[in-house]
Amino acid sequence: MKSRWWIGVTAGVALGLGSVVAVDVATQPASAASGTVTVAQLQQVKKVSVAAVKRTNTDHKKLNRVAAQLPLWAVSSGAPGSNLIRGDGVLLSQRLTEGNYRVRFVRDVSQCTWNGVPATDGVSLPDAFSVRIALDITEPSKTQLVVRTNDAAGQPKDSGFHVQVFC
C-alpha cells in the first residue's frame, strides 16, 4: 500500500490536466461582429431604448401611488387646544369641543385605514372609553381625521388617544 501512492497522485494530475485541456478546447476567444451599423439601425435602437425608459418611469409612478407607505400615527393628550404629544407624519392634533378632535397628517389619508384607541401617558382610563374616527370631508386635501372620544354612556368626553393610519 505504501509503495503505490504515486499511482493516485499521477491519476489526479492526469485528470486535472485533462479537464484544463477540455475547457480550453471547448471555449473560444470572444470576437466582435464585423460590419457597419447604419443610421437607421441606430435610430431604431434609440427608439426602443427611449420606449423602455418611458415604460419604466410610468411603472415607477404607478408603484409610488399604490405601494405600501410607512404608517402615520399620532398621540394626543386630549387637552384643550393643540394637544399633540408625539407622532410620525402628523402636523397637528387639536381639540375642537368636548370629546371632538381634529388630527391633520402630511398626506391624503382618504384611501387608508385608520385605527384609534383611548390612551394616556398618565393615569389610566376607565375601561368603557371609546374612540370613533372619520375622514374630515370638509377639508379638500383629505389629510384630516375627526376623532371623537366618548365615555361609557356614549357622551362626548375629553380623553387622550392614539391614532394609526395605514395606507
12 assigned to some structural domain: no
**Residues, the chain:** 167
Return the amino acid letter for 162.
H
Is the pTM higher than 0.75? The answer reads no
Q: Closest Cα partner for 120 from 77, 164, 163? A: 77
Grid coordinates representing 156 are 362626548
Q: How far apart are CA 17 and CA 61, in angstroms?
A: 56
Residues 6+ apart with CB under 8 A from 71: 88, 89, 164, 165, 166, 167
Asked if residue 56 belongs to a domain, the reply is no
State phi, psi for 14 to the nearest 5 degrees. Answer: -60, -40
Find the domain containing 102 and state its range. Answer: 72-166
Q: Could you tell me the three cell numbers for 39?
A: 443610421
Residue 111 belongs to a domain: yes
Our count of domains for the chain comes to 1
Q: What's the pLDDT tens digit per position in 68-108?
A: 578 999 999 888 888 899 999 999 999 999 999 999 999 99
Pick out the chain residues at pLDDT < 70. 1-6, 8-9, 11-34, 49-50, 52-54, 56-68, 123, 125-128
Helix (H) or strand (E) holding 94: strand 90-97
Residue 106 lies in a domain: yes
Does residue 113 lie in a domain region? Answer: yes
